[in-house]
Structure 1
């Protein structure tokens, strides 16, 4: 009887492990923050409505960012960001799709890996390499990291008068807490 119980427990554990390794994971309220440093004024905004999917087996990740969901300390910054720089009416979302290099689904310790992919903002798509930390959790995975984007790469035009107020390089940080997603 004990051998039978042991086989049932082992089979159940193995089935759960296989299911969790073949599942896709979703983050519906991921966080993306950007920061621009200048000597005149720092600009920072946070978006907590970012959607992302992660498939550990294929090592693929996709992210969709609603541009109007960024929150600024000053409402005028929000207005200028959406109307003048990002043109959110024409380009309502930014996106990223990529693949994690060297990711090991069996590893229980945090892994620092490079995600190679394409980032699309406004009407431009550019290849990027993102350094990220991946942590396996009880619910799924946490993926966080930072990347720098150059505003010139994404056709973000800054009037000459305002150019001292806006950095050419924007630091983007992200944090996604993925939970299992069943289709």
Structure 2
């Protein structure tokens, strides 16, 4: 079995856990290996929800290959990519991304061949960026835009959103000093 870190690197963009919308299924979602990868991805997302205080809209955007709707959505993408080591210290490890895709899809699969090309092109979209959340979000958006034929089925994306621990994120409360209260 692959390490969780490797398994969780399966981006909701082109890592093979996808169906082709118009011309049939690319992946058998009943395959235990695929289910294991999906489970690992959900566990990683759960951690990232808590870490960056992501909202349901943020997670839904990520899992449906949409651009983030907020700063926390951008940081959610960064967390997902950083936890998988695809992005480390502001640098994209394109080779790791392609390698991890090949673990699920096979080295010569259509997904991997296209990802190899697109991932290289997307490096240009982040040239000069230093903000980690913007960098990750922009890179992920570029991959999504260029690999549009690979997308999570909506029911799987929604199921992933339902599994997120949004209830554990406490709203930010005003900071009230004890000295400022009057009795």
Measured against the shorter chain, the TM-score band is: under 0.3
Structure with the largest fraction of helix:
2
Greater Cα radius of gyration, structure 1 or 2: 1
Q: Which has the higher strand share?
A: 1
Identify which of structures 1 and 2 has the higher relative contact order when contacts are C-alpha pairs closer than 8 Å and 6+ apart: 2
